[in-house]
Structure 1
Amino acid sequence: MTSSAVVMPLCRSTLSSAVSTDHGEMMGDKLVLRGLKFHGFHGVKEEERKLGQKFLVDVDAWMDLQPAGLSDSLSDTISYTAIYRVVKEVLEGAPHNLLESVTESIASTILNEYPRISAVRVVLGKPHVAVAGPVDYLGVEIIRRRKRVVQS
């Protein structure tokens, strides 16, 4: 008996393992950045704003990668380092109270700066949180799609 199911192993070293395939345009090609680590000063508590803390980030950026695959030219894609720079600037920049605000800033900046990206997924985790029990991290995940203009 054969099976067509794909099993994705869980990996504790990254924040995410897979995206469901019910996101339309998000089923195609994507740039993948995993396990980005930054020190930032985000949070509601005074200690978080004063001392800062470590943040973990994963980013998926959906775009057509075939032109770059055929040309082997960086000009036909978006450099991973460009997306990394956006994440770094937001995480190490002005403090936000909520992780939701940080992730929204990362996603909207990526979509605004890189029109070839059709959708972006940002997972942001805080590994050092004051909860009553062991955790790998607590955080948020957002998915933002480029708004399409419908012409009549």
Structure 2
Amino acid sequence: MNTFVELRKIRFYAYHGVAEQERCVGNDYEIYVKVKYPFKDAMETDNLDATLNYAQLYEIICREMKIPSHLLEHVAGRIIRAIQTEFPLSEGGILSISKQKPPISGDIEGASVIVEW
């Protein structure tokens, strides 16, 4: 049985980007995360300690999004390492970070990095 905890459309205003102006002015971001986690015991016991606490998962993402980086890839790496550290039973997942209004000339909704681990 594969079991996952998923958080969708997490929105932040943060200060990431290669250009100094991006790190000063900031931008809107949207995060999606899906973590494979063996919570079969929680299904039987109704015990929070037997699953991945999604409030704690959200706090990990908040903490890492507050640290300015040049690259979204770097932010993604920090988030994944923190998830693996705080939830050592996690078995992989998918993380998407999207910059909603990237500084690109042209009609573009967003730019994303997606990591599957």
Band the TM-score falls in, shorter-chain normalisation: over 0.9
Q: Structure 2 length as normaliser, TM-score?
A: 0.93
Q: Structure 1 length as normaliser, TM-score?
A: 0.73
How many residues matched? 117
- Name the structure with the higher helix share: 2
Of 92, 97, 100, the match for 1:124? 97
Which runs of at least 4 in structure 1 moved beyond 2 Å after TM superposition?
A: 130-136
Residue equivalent to 1:147:
none
State the percentage of identical aligned residues.
Answer: 26
The correspondence of residues 49-60 of structure 1 with structure 2, limited to 5 A, is 49-60=23-34
Larger Rg: 1
Larger RCO, structures 1/2 (Cα 8 Å, 6+ apart): 2
- Name the structure with the higher strand share: 2
Measured after TM superposition, the shift of residue 46 of structure 1 is 1.4
Measured after TM superposition, the shift of residue 82 of structure 1 is 0.5
CA distance in structure 2 between the aligned counterparts of 1:81 and 1:127, rounded to whole angstroms: 24
Measured after TM superposition, the shift of residue 123 of structure 1 is 0.3
Q: Contact 1:111–1:120 at 8 Å: present in 2 too?
A: no
Q: Please, which runs of 5 or more residues in structure 2 have no aligned partner?
A: none
Of 102, 106, 111, the match for 1:133? 106
